[in-house]
Homo-oligomer: A and B are copies of this chain.
Amino acid sequence: MNNSRYPSRLLESAVNEFARLPGIGRKTALRLALFVLKQEVDDVVRFTSAIRELREEIQHCKVCFNISDSEVCEICASPKRDRSLVCVVESIRDVMAIENTQQYTGIYHVLGGVISPMDGIGPDDLTIEPLVEKVKFGEVKEVIFALSTTMEGDTTNFFIYRKLAPHNIEMTTIARGVSIGDELEYADEVTLGRSLINRMPFEKSL
């Protein structure tokens, strides 16, 4: 479809724009553009305004760097949250995933990625310094690492670990093991091996 001639320049530029979205090819982009054509004008205006406002009005929480509608996000502003417990994550999606468990009562620190020299992302591109400041001058007692278990994630973990080591806080990492509901034979060897080494008292699993 790359050489398609579009019957309209307006259609062509809408298709081009849709096709810039991740995971959207030109065929899907055309389908989306034709869908837009069938919608009421009001619906399309609501769609485009929501996206534009998202980009233009969103803020980053100045405490945890999560996205927010205000200077300080709801989580950081909540009196119910334990400010001595900070969970370090890569992105907003990780915050949402953890929030969905409804098991966590601490606050977060969103790094904005992991150290990845291949992608040109160094420590200074992440919010590591504000984390160190927070630990230095704040009320933090424990930092929980919840980054991906990739080489980049491990590098980042270790980098932050060394930065925080001089300060008198506890540092932990989330448990890795066989997923609940998964059958052992399908678990990968590294995970299964790790879950044997890190076995825990049976009573605690009840």
As for how many copies of this chain the complex holds, the number is 2
Q: Could you tell me which residues of chain A, from 90 to 110, have a CB within 8 Å of some CB in chain B?
A: 91-93, 95-96, 99-100
* Shortest Cβ distance from A38 into B: residue: B55
With known contacts A34-B93, A67-B8, A95-B7, A17–B50 Cβ distance under 8 A = yes
Contact A52 B45 (CB under 8 A): yes
Contact of A31 among B23, B36, B39, B52 (CB under 8 A): B23
* Shortest Cβ distance from A24 into B: residue: B32
A16 CB to closest chain B CB (Å) equals 7
Q: How far is the CA of A6 from the CA of B20 in the complex (A)?
A: 25
A73 contacts B by Cβ under 8 Å: yes
Residues of B within 8 A of A46 (CB): 17
Residues of B within 8 A of A158 (CB): none
